[in-house]
Structures are given as structure tokens and as C-alpha cells.
Structure 1
Amino acid sequence: MNTRQASQNGYPSGGSIRPGKSRGGSFLKRVTSTLIDARASAWTNHGEPERHLRFSNVTKLYATKHGHRRVIDQLSLDFPRGRNIAILGKNGAGKSTLMRMIAGSEAPSSGKITRETRISWPLGLGVGVHPALSALENCRFVARIYNADPREVIDSVEEFADVGAYFHMPVRTLSSGMRARVNFGLSMAIQFDCYLIDELTAVGDRKFQEKCREAFAERLSSADVIMVSHQASTVKSYCEMAAVLQDGKIRFYDSLEEATEIYQGLA
């Protein structure tokens, strides 16, 4: 799919998302839109410090029976490069919505989101795989979108996921654990500059969990992470700063301890 075709099908073709209604359609279109947005290439900001992600007056509204609910409220901020950031907030604060907007699978109601780096789909939400396709077919699909060698991606995911003959069966027939293995393996097969993590949970036995930790640590040696997690130990393992999301606003803290204290004190 070239840039013109992507644009004609309603998929953003560059590194920016502008407001607009989400198009209906198949799950495949939604996944494709997510992945095409996530592969937006870096751009050079002449004379200014490099930024890794920029929100410009972004608002996100959801219609409810009681009127519109404002999840993100006129948010303008930069996520800096070279920092691993935890997003903290109470249930319903909009953390997953924020992650989907960063990934590109959900558009803001108003404002603009600009990427200046290569951002993954959110690990933990399972949006990287299409349930009607086999794991092998998903690998080919994602490899084409990211201009990666399909054979290398297939070999990497098949070895990493280690699901045997299920690798050639529709993903919907796999157990939740197997699907998580495939999704995690696929995300590790593509090199990103920033990985999005939404409540990453342990998958498989202790040996496989250790393999996941090693693979992720290798990726993070040259990439950043933006993470949503309620597990303090997980946040401390991967993040060095945090942001608290409350009432549609985000505030950054260089100290994880201070951010955690603020988060725990939220009503």
C-alpha cells in the first residue's frame, strides 16, 4: 500500500494525526491504521531540540448519555527522547485512550499529534495481530507495513513464540497465552525507537518470562518506553520518570517516588 492508497483509505500517511471521525470497517482496517500510523518516520526540527512526541492543544471527547466526557483536555506537551516514562492515573482517567492516540489508532477530537520517531503499537492491548490470520500471515502483513524482510520476521517470531503448529493456524484459535507470545514476539521482531506498554503482564512459564525480559532489555538499550502499569515494581524496573494523568491533564515528575505519592493520593 503506497502513501496515496493509504490516504484514500482513510489511513494517515504522515507523522501527524489531525482531528476527524474514526472510520468504520473491519478489524483489519483498524489494525492497518494503527500500524501505518505507528511507522511514521522521524523528521528533523531545524534549530530546535529533538522531541520524540508532541501534543498540540489536544482534546479527546467521548459521547455519553449524560453528554460529552472530556478525557484529554487541551493538552500541549512534548515527550522527550531518551527517557523511559510511566503514565500513572486512576482507572478511567484515560491512560489507554492516551496510548491509543500516541500509537495512532485513535484520533483526537481536536488538536494535533506529531511524531518525530518510530513508535510501536501498544504491547498488552493485542492490537498488533489480526485474529482471522495465522501468526505466519500476521508476520508477513506487519513486515510489509514496516518494510522489513518477511522471512526474517517470520523466523524471529516463530522461534520466539514457540507455539509449534499453532503458528500456522488462525490467531483466534490460539489460547490467550499463545496469542500474547505471538504478539510480544512480533513486537520484538520490529525495531522501534519507542515502545508503548499498556499493562504488560507475565506470559508463559518462568523460562519464557525470562526470555521476554532479556529480549525487551536488549530493545530498550537503544529505544525508549512509555508505559502504563499499576505495578510499582514493573514501573521501577523500566522507567526513570513518570507523568500523572488527572482530569484530562498530564504533569511530569523527574522523581518516580514523588509521582507515585501524588498518584496514590488521588481521590
Structure 2
Amino acid sequence: MKVERKCTIVAREEMGDAIYLVLEAGDMVRTSYAGPGQFVHVKCGEGLLLRRPISVCSCQEDVPNDLIAIAFEVRGDGTRWLAQRKVGDTLDVMGLLGNGFSIKPKGRYLLVGGGIGIPPMRGCAQATEGRSTAILGGRSKDKIILQSCFNDECAKVLIATDDGSLGHHGFVDALVRQELEQDKNYDGVLACGPKPMLRNVANVAQEFGIPCQVSMEERMGCGVGACLVCACDMADGSRKHVCKDGPVFDSKEVDWNA
């Protein structure tokens, strides 16, 4: 059940181009948490600006206020306004929204995050309590955020950068292939990032017969399935909506050629 709350910023940190915020969110987690990979819809600015969907990095039930962490990059007027908020400021937040990753109890997963798709994978790392392996990718080393958190919360962390400034020189799908060649004992691959990355990761997972879930990113309007802006083409010819039916889908559901 989604809720709308006035959330106070209690921590703020700049991580390269990303802004990391921790929010006091009332009972939002206790009321609407359904698994890692959900998102919040944040009102950014006054007037007619639409809310902005932002993936949840991690969340924690607490009393009197639950805590939610988000991370984002400035992509337009709304996120520019949000990036200017300070500790103590209040945000109008709707959440938690969407369907997250489906994780088996005591499951062990290969977590793949690219760029600003890295933060939501941290919730998966926490949910699997140190059993999973993380593969993090970005254009350069300054795009690899939260690495120390993954080091603490995963059994192993592998890095890929497009320019070779950190870890493997290349894309994350090469590391996914490398890891699965060495160890096929994963319950699944969970991934979030740009669509071309997700397609490549899904193809590698399918080669090895490993189930794969992907978190899709589309422009959103309402965030609750009413405006139909965030349509995503499915392999069976249907269209689903990222805000309501996703953002997480089985990779075999998605039409990667659309």
C-alpha cells in the first residue's frame, strides 16, 4: 500500500555526480515495503513540476520514523532542485511504489548494477545478508558509488569501468560471464542499469540457464499506473507499465528489440 509522507532529510552526501540522501519517512517502510528494488516518487519544487521517480537504495524499519536512503544524479530541473536540498529540509514523498526483486529466503544472487543502477542493488545485498556477489559498472571509477557498502554487505565485489580506470576494462556482462563460468551456484541474476546493459546481462544469464530479473527505467508521470507514460514492450506483444507492473521484470518477459 503506497503512502504519502512529509520526509525530513537527515543526511546528505555527494558521491561523484550522485547525491545521496537519507530520509526520515514516518511509517512508510512498515506500511508499504514489498522487497528491494521499489522506488519513491518525490515532489521536486513548487508549481506544476511532476514528481520524480527515484529508486530506493536501502530502507530500515524504525520507531518513530522509518529510514529510506536514495541516490540520484541531476538530469533536469526537478532533480536539480532536489540536489539543492539540505539536511533538515522536508520533502513530499510517495512510496514505496512498484514491485521489487523476488528473492528466495537464504538465496544467493549475482547482483549487477550499472551507473545510477548501482544504488538499488544495495537493498538486494542487505536482503541476502552477505551471501551474494556484486558486479558494479560505470563509465569511470568516479561513477562506482557505494563500493565500501557492497564490500561490507557482499561475499565478493567485482568492478568494471568503460575506461579501465578501476577494475576490469570493459562492460559488466564480461564479468557476469566470467563469474558464471567459475560458479553457477547462484539462485539468479538481479540487475539494474541502462537498457543495453540489461539486455547483455540477460543474454549471458540465459546462456548459463540462470534466472534473471531486471529493473527497467522509463520516464514516468503519475507513478501509479494512471497516465500510461512508462509503457514497456513485452516479448509476448503486450505492453506493461514500469511504475505499476515493474520496475522489476523477469528478463524473458521483456522485448529487448523494441
TM-score, length of structure 2 as denominator length: 0.36
Bigger radius of gyration: 1
From the two aligned structures, give the one with the greater helix fraction: 1
Q: Which has the higher contact order (CA 8 A, sep 6+)?
A: 1
From the two aligned structures, give the one with the greater strand fraction: 2
TM-score, length of structure 1 as denominator length: 0.36
